């Protein structure tokens, strides 16, 4: 049986000890111990797991590559501009083709082909 912890989540729900699949920047860290809110479902990792993730992200030079971008209109379509740091890291150029697909209502993915 999972233990419900005494301290609350910011939404007012209680946290319970559990396990969750951990993935950051496309790196799969496997299933790790976490705390999950019984109300909103937010997952919280311990400091040791976060340090491991941060170390791996820095090692792969991914730290700081997450960017906020503006979606712009281009004819009848919408366009996303890829920041130069991501272009450089991904070694993109205008000859690449990509596949774009939704992976949720608020999430799209782009795969280079």
Q: Tokens for 46?
A: 């311990």
What CATH number corresponds to the domain at position 50? 3.10.20
Domain that holds residue 104: 71-112
What's the pLDDT at 24?
Answer: 78
What's the pLDDT at 6?
Answer: 61
| Co-location of 9 and 46 in the same domain | yes
| Co-location of 75 and 102 in the same domain | yes
Is the CA virtual torsion 101, 103, 66, 32 positive or negative?
Answer: negative
| Co-location of 53 and 99 in the same domain | no
| Co-location of 92 and 49 in the same domain | no
Considering the domain boundaries, does residue 66 fall inside one? no
Considering the domain boundaries, does residue 64 fall inside one? no
- All residue ranges of the chain with pLDDT < 50 are 1
- The number of domains in the chain is 2
Q: Tokens for 55?
A: 């170390």
Beta-strand ranges (E) seen in 1-113 are: 4-8, 14-24, 27-37, 43-45, 71-74, 77-80, 98-104, 107-112
| Co-location of 13 and 53 in the same domain | yes
State pTM to two decimals.
0.53
Is the CA virtual torsion 52, 55, 61, 62 positive or negative?
Answer: positive
Instruction: Name every residue whose Cβ is closer than 8 Å to that of residue 112 and which is 6 or more positions away in sequence.
Output: 90, 92, 96, 97, 98
């Amino acid at each position: 049986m999972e233990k419900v912890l005494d301290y609350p989540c910011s939404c007012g729900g209680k946290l319970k000890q559990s396990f969750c699949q951990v993935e950051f920047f496309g790196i799969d860290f496997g299933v790790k111990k976490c705390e999950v809110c019984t109300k909103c479902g937010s997952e919280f990792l311990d400091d040791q797991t976060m340090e491991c993730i941060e170390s791996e992200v820095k090692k792969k030079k991914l730290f700081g590559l997450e960017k906020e971008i503006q979606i712009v209109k281009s004819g009848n379509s919408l366009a996303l501009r890829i920041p130069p740091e991501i272009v450089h890291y991904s070694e993109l150029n205008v000859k690449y083709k990509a596949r774009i697909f939704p992976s949720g209502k608020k999430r799209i993915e782009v795969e280079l082909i």
